[in-house]
Structure 1
Amino acid sequence: MPLPSHMRHVDLPAFGAPEVMTFKTSAVPLPGPGEILVEVQAAGVNRPDVAQRQGTYPPPKDASPILGLEVAGRIVALGEGVTDFTIGDNVCGLANGGGYAEFCVLPAGQALRFPKGYDAVKAAALPETFFTVWANLFQMAGLTEGETVLIHGGTSGIGTTAIQLARAFGATVYTTAGSDEKCAACVNLGAVRAINYKTEDFAAVIKAETGGQGVDVILDMIGAAYFEKNIASLAKDGCLSIIAFLGGSQVEKFNLAPIMVKRLMVTGSTMRPRTAEEKRAIRDDLVNEVWPLLEDGTIAPVIHSVLPFDQVVEAHQLMETSSHVGKIVLSLK
C-alpha cells in the first residue's frame, strides 16, 4: 500500500499557552540513512513539549520543528542502511521532534520494539521517561543495588518510572509529591517513604529516615529552589543528578563547602542534545536490562490519561495543572 503524500500534524505558529497549538497538513517526511518512518498510533506528552511550546526549549537545528519526542506505531518505510527492523514492525521510540503527527521519522538507534503484550498506547508511554531515567539515574549517577535514592516529583512520568526502576534494581527509594494522595501512589509503586513537600521539610525527613546519613543519589527536576536542601540531604560520596529547572536555574549565596567535605558530585543532562551514538547506547541498555522487566510485569508505565489527538490542547492544559499521576498519552488510532 503506497504511503499518503500528506499528513496531519500539530502546528505551533507562535509560542504561548496551549491554545496557540493548531492543526496543519504537510508532506509526509521521508526517512534518511539510518532512519525509519513510523505511522504514529500514539504519542506521549512530556514537559519538554510544554517548554518547546512556551519557547524555552528549542529543537536542534537538524530536528523537526513539530512538537513531540516519543511515539509508538508501525514502521512503514526504511532508510538506507537500516537492518535492525523491517516494514510492519511495531516500535516505540525517542524522536528528535515530530511526534505530534500522523507520521514521524525516527533514528533507528532510538527505536525499540513493543514489549511483548504491549499496545501502542502503553508503548508510547515508555521512551522519553525511560531514556531519561536510565541515563541520569543509572549511567551517570551510578545508582546500584543497596543504595538509597531520593526522587523528586514522584508522580510525574519521570517519577513513576524512576521509583519503579530504582526499586527493581535493589535501591531503597524515598520520594516527594504534592499531596497525601500522590504520596500514597508513590508508596504503592515501591517508595519506602513519600514526603508531602507542601506540609513537610524533605531535608528534615531524609535526615531522620537515614539516621543523619543522607541518601546516595538524588534525582531532581526542581533545580535552584531545592539545591541547598538537596546538598544537605546527600550522604558522603553522594550524587545530585539534575534533569530540569522547574524551580529556577540560578542559585545565589550558596556555601560550596559541603560539596568538598562530603565529596559530592553534581551532574545533570538533557536528552535532546545527546549524540545519536549516546542515545543508541541508552537504547541498547534498555533493551537488555529494562525490557525484560516490562515483559514480565515487574514494572509498568503509569498512564493517567489517554486523549484523542484532537485534544492536544487539553492534554497540555492537564500537564500544566500537575494534577496527573503518571503519563499523558495522545491516541491517533
Structure 2
Amino acid sequence: MRAVFYEGAGGPEVLRLRETDAPQPAEGEVVIDVAAAGVNRADVQQRIGVYPPPPGASEIPGLEVSGRVSSVGAGVTAPRVGDEVCALLAGGGYAEQVAVPAGQVLPVPRGVDLVTAAALPEVAATVFSNLFMTAGVQAGETVLIHGGSGGIGTMAVQLVDAFGAVPAVTAGSQEKLDVARELGAEVLINYREEDFVERIKEATGGRGADVILDVVGAKYLQRNVDALATSGRLVVIGLQGGAKAELNLGQLMAKRGAVIGTTLRARPAEEKAAIMRAVAEHVWPLVVSGDVKPQVHRTFALADAAAAHEYFDSGAHTGKILLTTS
C-alpha cells in the first residue's frame, strides 16, 4: 500500500508518499481500506518533532479515518467486513489501509458521506470527552472556546449549543467569527483586537466563563484563570503558545477553580473505546438529526499531503482539512 511518512523533522517538505507493507489485523483489531483521513494539529506537531507517536503506535501520521472494513482479527464480532466506518487512531491514518482496535471504530452516521465522515472521529472524541465527560458542562453554562473556527472549535460550538450551554469563541478574523456564529456561537471575540478576559466578563455580567477549552497553553494560562467564573474549569488540550507558565494559585483557589490538562492520543485502547461509546450514544444522534454537521473546508489527495500541511500551516482554513485516497 501507499502511505505518507515524515523524512525527518521540519516543514511540509518532509512529507513523502512511499510504498510500505499493508497492515494485518491483530486480535481485537480491524483493517480499514481508507477513503479519507483528517489532518490535525497533532500531525503538524509530530512533523516538526515535538509530538512523537506513543509507544507502539504507527510512525505514519493521521489520527482519524473513514473507509470500509476489509478484514477483522480474532475475537471481533463488529464491525464486519464491508461496513462503512470511521475510526479514532493513535497514528497510521495517512495511508491506503490502517489497522485499529475495533472499539475505536464507529459506523458512519446516517446521512454523512464516506469521505466527510473522516472529519468526525478525532474532534468528536476530543470535544465530548473533555467538555462533557471531564469538565461536566451543564445547560446554561458559558463555555469559552479558543480557536472557535478550527476543527475542534467548530465541533465544540455545535455540541455546546446542542446541549443547551452558551458557546463563546475567540478567533483571529471577522470571517472566522462569522463561521462560528453560523454554527451557534453567541459571544464572538476577535483576539487580535479585543481582550477576551474583558469581553467574556462583559458578556456574563462580570461572572466569567464556567468552562474554557484551550488549545494555546502557557501564553493564555493566567488570562484564562482571570476569565474563569467561580467554580470554573479550564481544560487545556493544546500547547500552541508554549508549555511553561506561572500561575496565581491564590486566585485559582479563591475561585475554587480547576485547571485540567488532557491528551487523547496516548490513552489506553480501553479508555478510547469508552469515549467512542459515549460519542456513539450522545453525539452520533445529533449528527444524524443534522443538529451537528461535520465541517470540511478542503480536501487534498493523499499524494498531495505536503500541500495539505502547507495549507493547514497558513491558518486560512475553517473546520477540517481531509486527505483522500481516490
Same topology, TM > 0.5: yes
Structure 2: which 5+ residue stretches go unaligned?
none
Partner residue of 1:275?
268
Partner residue of 2:5?
11
Whether 2:309 is the aligned partner of 1:307: answer: no
Q: Tell me the TM-score normalised to structure 2 length.
A: 0.99
CA contact (8 A) 2:46 2:52 kept: yes
Q: CA deviation at 1:240?
A: 0.1
For residues 201 and 120 of structure 1, what CA distance do their matches in structure 2 show? 41
Partner residue of 1:324?
317
Partner residue of 1:94?
88
CA contact (8 A) 2:90 2:266 kept: no
Whether 2:34 is the aligned partner of 1:36: answer: no
1:172 to 141, 145, 166: 166
Q: CA deviation at 1:122?
A: 1.2
Describe how 1:118-197 pairs up with structure 2 within 5 A.
118-197=112-191
Partner residue of 2:241?
247
Q: CA deviation at 1:180?
A: 1.0
For residues 99 and 28 of structure 1, what CA distance do their matches in structure 2 show? 12
For residues 66 and 303 of structure 2, what CA distance do their matches in structure 1 show? 17
Whether 2:63 is the aligned partner of 1:69: answer: yes
Q: Which amino acid aligns with 1:173?
A: P
Q: Which amino acid aligns with 1:127?
A: P
Partner residue of 1:261?
254
Q: CA deviation at 1:331?
A: 1.1
Q: Give 3-state SS (helix, strand or coil) of 2:144's partner.
A: strand
For residues 218 and 288 of structure 2, what CA distance do their matches in structure 1 show? 38
Q: Which amino acid aligns with 1:287?
A: A
Partner residue of 2:215?
221
CA contact (8 A) 1:42 1:330 kept: yes
Q: Tell me the TM-score normalised to structure 1 length.
A: 0.96
Whether 2:200 is the aligned partner of 1:206: answer: yes
What percentage of residue pairs aligned between the two structures are identical? 49
Q: Deviations over 1:45-104 (max 9, x none)?
A: 000011111111111121111111111000000011011211000110011111001000
For residues 178 and 20 of structure 2, what CA distance do their matches in structure 1 show? 45
Q: Give 3-state SS (helix, strand or coil) of 2:283's partner.
A: helix
For residues 231 and 46 of structure 1, what CA distance do their matches in structure 2 show? 27
Whether 2:138 is the aligned partner of 1:112: answer: no
For residues 285 and 174 of structure 2, what CA distance do their matches in structure 1 show? 32
Q: CA deviation at 1:37?
A: 0.1
Describe how 1:37-56 pairs up with structure 2 within 5 A.
37-56=31-50
Q: CA deviation at 1:213?
A: 0.5
Q: CA deviation at 1:112?
A: 0.4
For residues 11 and 188 of structure 1, what CA distance do their matches in structure 2 show? 37
CA contact (8 A) 2:67 2:115 kept: no
CA contact (8 A) 1:136 1:268 kept: no
Q: CA deviation at 1:255?
A: 2.0
For residues 242 and 98 of structure 2, what CA distance do their matches in structure 1 show? 32
Q: CA deviation at 1:303?
A: 0.8
Q: Give 3-state SS (helix, strand or coil) of 1:27's partner.
A: coil
Moved over 4 A (4+): none
Q: Which amino acid aligns with 1:308?
A: A
Q: Which amino acid aligns with 1:162?
A: A
For residues 279 and 323 of structure 2, what CA distance do their matches in structure 1 show? 23
CA contact (8 A) 1:307 1:315 kept: yes
Q: Deviations over 1:182-239 (max 9, x none)?
A: 1111111101111000000000101111111111100000111111111011111110
Structure 1: which 5+ residue stretches go unaligned?
1-6
Query: How many corresponding residue pairs?
Result: 326
For residues 16 and 255 of structure 2, what CA distance do their matches in structure 1 show? 51
Partner residue of 1:4?
none
Q: CA deviation at 1:327?
A: 0.2
